[in-house]
Structure 1
C-alpha cells in the first residue's frame, strides 16, 4: 500500500528572483503588443513567442547546458511555469516538448537524439506532440494496437493514433507502439519512438472541435520508418517510460490554472462588494488553489530529487482538473452573462463562453478521472 505524503517545499532564493524576472519579461512583451493574456494559455501557442522564451532561457531550464539548458532546478522551472500560466502567456507551441518530451529524451534517448533535438527545443524552435490515444481504446493505454516491426537500421510503424493535440504544428511525435505481441502481462511488449512528422508513410488528418477549431488530429502510420537511435529507453520497456512521463504531465500548475484568467476576470466583474454567496465561492476557490499549489510544488520537489511520484501526480491531476473545471460552472451562475463562442475576443462573455465549452475536456486530457481514481485506489490498497 502506498502512503500519500506531500512534504512541504521551501522555494529557493533563485526561484524568488526568477519569479520577478519572468513577470518583467511578460510585462515587456505585453506592453510591446506581442501577446494579450490567453484563456487557456498552455494549449494556445505562438511560435514567435516560443522563440522569445527560448532566447530568455525559459525552455529546457533544468537540462544540461551542453544540450541548450540552464541547469536550474525543477522548483525554478515550476515558478517560471506558474508565472507564464498566471499571466496568460501563449506557451502552447513548446509546452509538450518542454514539459515532458524533452525530459524523456534527456533521460532515456540516444546521444544522437539528445544532440539533435534538445538544443532546438531549448531555443523554442522545435515542438512535440504525444502519440498515446488510439481509436476504440479510450484511456486504456495497454490496449495499444499500433505496431512496429524490425527493419534494416530501425523499425517500420503501422497503425493509428487519435486525438493527437497540435500534431499539425509539431515537428516530432513520441509514439507508444507495440513491438511484441500481447501476452498475459498487458503492459509488456510496448516501446516509445521519436517520430519525425515529415517522415514518409505518415499522414495527418484534422479533427475539428465543436466550434470549428483545429486542435486535434488523427495520425496514420503506414510502414513509417524510424531509425534505431530514435527509440526511447529499452525496446519493450515503453510502459515504464510512459508512466514515468505522466508524472511530468499530470502534476504541474497547468492542471489547475487553465481557467485562472476567468477566475481573475470574474472577481473583477463581481466588484469590491460581492454578495455572500460570491464571497463564499471565491474564498473556497482560493483555499483550494492554495492547497493545490502546495501539493504541486511538493511533487516538483520530489522530481528534483529524482523520485517518481506517479500516484501523487495522479492525485494532483484529478483534484486540479476538477477545480479548473468547476470555476466556469460556478461563475456562470453568479454573473449574468450571455456566453459567446469566440476564441479571439477579450470580452468577459467570450472568456466565460469558451471556458464553459472547453472545461469538460480538462478532466479527460492526460488520463480520465475514472482511470486516475482507479490508480489512486489501488495505491491506497482499496482494490
Structure 2
C-alpha cells in the first residue's frame, strides 16, 4: 500500500514577484482602456482574440517553451504567477487558454519536430487556438469507452463519430482529439486509442452549439462525417494515446483556474457583507478563505512538480476534486448569507449578477477536467486503495 502523495510547500522567487508586478501593471492599463472590467460580473473566462495576441506580444504565452519554438524558457512557477494574475483580474483569456495550458505542452512532449515548428510559435504569439476533443455522447468521464474512430487510409486517416461538450470548438483553429484507432482488448480497455491534431476547417466537420444553463454558447457537439486528415496529424505513437491524454489532463486539472473561477464572487461577498457581521458569518467566510489559501498552496506545489519534470497525476486530481467542491460551495454560501439580509434587494447589481451567473455555471465545474467520481478513483489508485 502506498500513501506517499505529497504536496511540497513552495516559496516563490524574487523573479516571480517582479513578474507579478509587471503583469499587474499591464492589467491596470487594460482596465483604464476598458478592456477588463473594474469589477467582473461573470464567473469563468471571457474570450478575446485581440487580448490573447497582446499577451503573445509581451511574451506571456508559451512561457516555459524553448525559444526555438517561440517560447521564453521560463519556469513553471513564473507561468503560474502570470496565470494567477490574469484569472484574478477577470482577464478575457479563453481564446488561447487550452493551447497554452495543455495542447502546447503535449506537442512539446509527444509531437514531431514538424508539429512543434508548425504550431507552437503561433500559439506563443496568441494567433493559434486549440480545443479539447475527449468526451463523446456515450463516453463522458469513461474515456476508455470512446467510439469516435480514426480509420487508417492511404496517406492519412478517416474520422467518423461525434465529440461532445467541446468548449470553444466554434472559435478554435484546431482540436487535439483522442480517437479509437483499434478495438480495445479485454485485458486493457485503454488500448487502441490515438491522439490527433484536427484542423477544424477541414470539410466534413460540423460544429453544433450546445447552450448552457446561462443561455451562453460555450459547449459544442462536433460531428465528423468521414473527415480525412493526413498522416502527420497523428501525435506521438499510434495506439498510445491514453498515456498522452492522461498527461494532458494533469495540465488541465492542477492550475489556479481550479480555485479561481468563483473567486470574484467571494471577494465581492466579503466586500458587500462588510466588517460588521455575526460570529457565524465570520466563521463561514473564514472557512472559505482557509480553503482558498490551502488550494493555492497545493496548486503551486503541482506547478513545482511540473517544473521538476514529474507527472503529478494524482496530486492534480486531488487539486481538481477539492477545487471543484470549493468553487461550488462559494455560491451556496453566498446565496445563504446574502438572501438572509433584509437589504438584499437593495444591494448593488454586481454581487447579484455574479451570484446568479455562478449558480448557473457551477454544475459545469464538476464536469470539466473529469467528474468527481472519476477523480476519486484516480486518487484511490494513487494511494494504493484500489
Q: Same fold (TM over 0.5)?
A: yes
Whether the 8 Å contact between 1:78 and 1:297 is mirrored in structure 2 is yes
Per-residue deviation at 1:358?
0.6
1:207 partnered with 2:205: no
Per-residue deviation at 1:181?
1.2
- Mapped to 2, the partners of 1:102 and 1:339 lie a distance apart of 47
Whether the 8 Å contact between 2:164 and 2:220 is mirrored in structure 1 is yes
Residue 14 of structure 1 aligns with which residue?
15
Per-residue deviation at 1:42?
5.0
Classify the secondary structure of the residue corresponding to 2:261: coil
Give matches, 1:225-244, under 5 Å: 225-244=228-247
- Mapped to 2, the partners of 1:338 and 1:236 lie a distance apart of 57
Classify the secondary structure of the residue corresponding to 1:20: helix
Tell me the alpha carbon deviations over residues 291-311 of structure 1, each in whole angstroms, 9 at most, x when there is no partner: 111111111001011100101
Residue 374 of structure 2 aligns with which residue?
371
Residue 32 of structure 1 aligns with which residue?
33
Give matches, 1:78-117, under 5 Å: 78-117=80-119
- Mapped to 2, the partners of 1:246 and 1:235 lie a distance apart of 19
- Mapped to 2, the partners of 1:298 and 1:286 lie a distance apart of 18
**Structure 1 stretches (4+) deviating beyond 2 angstroms?**
37-43, 336-340
More contact order relative to length (CA 8 Å, sep ≥ 6): 2
Q: 1:92 to 1:53 in 2, by over 3 A?
A: same
- Mapped to 2, the partners of 1:339 and 1:54 lie a distance apart of 42
Whether the 8 Å contact between 2:250 and 2:316 is mirrored in structure 1 is yes
Classify the secondary structure of the residue corresponding to 2:170: helix
- Mapped to 2, the partners of 1:34 and 1:188 lie a distance apart of 46
Paired residue total: 379
- Mapped to 2, the partners of 1:190 and 1:39 lie a distance apart of 41
Residue 252 of structure 2 aligns with which residue?
249
- Mapped to 2, the partners of 1:42 and 1:59 lie a distance apart of 19
Classify the secondary structure of the residue corresponding to 1:5: coil
Classify the secondary structure of the residue corresponding to 2:366: coil
Aligned partner (choices 334, 341, 348) of residue 351 of structure 2: 348
Q: 1:365 to 1:339 in 2, by over 3 A?
A: farther
Tell me the alpha carbon deviations over residues 182-206 of structure 1, each in whole angstroms, 9 at most, x when there is no partner: 2121011100000000011211111
- Mapped to 2, the partners of 1:50 and 1:161 lie a distance apart of 26
- Mapped to 2, the partners of 1:11 and 1:270 lie a distance apart of 32
Q: 1:171 to 1:215 in 2, by over 3 A?
A: same
Tell me the alpha carbon deviations over residues 287-339 of structure 1, each in whole angstroms, 9 at most, x when there is no partner: 11111111111110010111001011000000011111100100111113469
Tell me the alpha carbon deviations over residues 148-203 of structure 1, each in whole angstroms, 9 at most, x when there is no partner: 11122221111110110110010000110011112121011100000000011211
1:269 partnered with 2:258: no
1:156 partnered with 2:129: no
Whether the 8 Å contact between 1:42 and 1:90 is mirrored in structure 2 is no
Tell me the alpha carbon deviations over residues 236-291 of structure 1, each in whole angstroms, 9 at most, x when there is no partner: 11000000111100011000110001011101100121222221112111111111
TM-score by structure 1 length? 0.96
- Mapped to 1, the partners of 2:68 and 2:349 lie a distance apart of 41
Per-residue deviation at 1:347?
2.2
Per-residue deviation at 1:349?
1.1
Farther off after superposition, 315-324 or 345-354: 345-354
Per-residue deviation at 1:14?
1.4
Classify the secondary structure of the residue corresponding to 1:11: coil
> Which ranges in structure 1 are unaligned for 5 or more consecutive residues?
none
Residue 61 of structure 1 aligns with which residue?
63
Whether the 8 Å contact between 2:44 and 2:262 is mirrored in structure 1 is no
- Mapped to 2, the partners of 1:40 and 1:84 lie a distance apart of 15
- Mapped to 2, the partners of 1:332 and 1:275 lie a distance apart of 16
- Mapped to 2, the partners of 1:84 and 1:41 lie a distance apart of 13
> Which ranges in structure 2 are unaligned for 5 or more consecutive residues?
none
- Mapped to 2, the partners of 1:33 and 1:55 lie a distance apart of 19
Residue 4 of structure 1 aligns with which residue?
5
- Mapped to 1, the partners of 2:312 and 2:384 lie a distance apart of 17
Per-residue deviation at 1:80?
0.6
Residue 330 of structure 1 aligns with which residue?
333
Residue 307 of structure 2 aligns with which residue?
304
Classify the secondary structure of the residue corresponding to 2:71: coil
Per-residue deviation at 1:12?
1.8
Per-residue deviation at 1:138?
2.4
- Mapped to 1, the partners of 2:303 and 2:268 lie a distance apart of 28
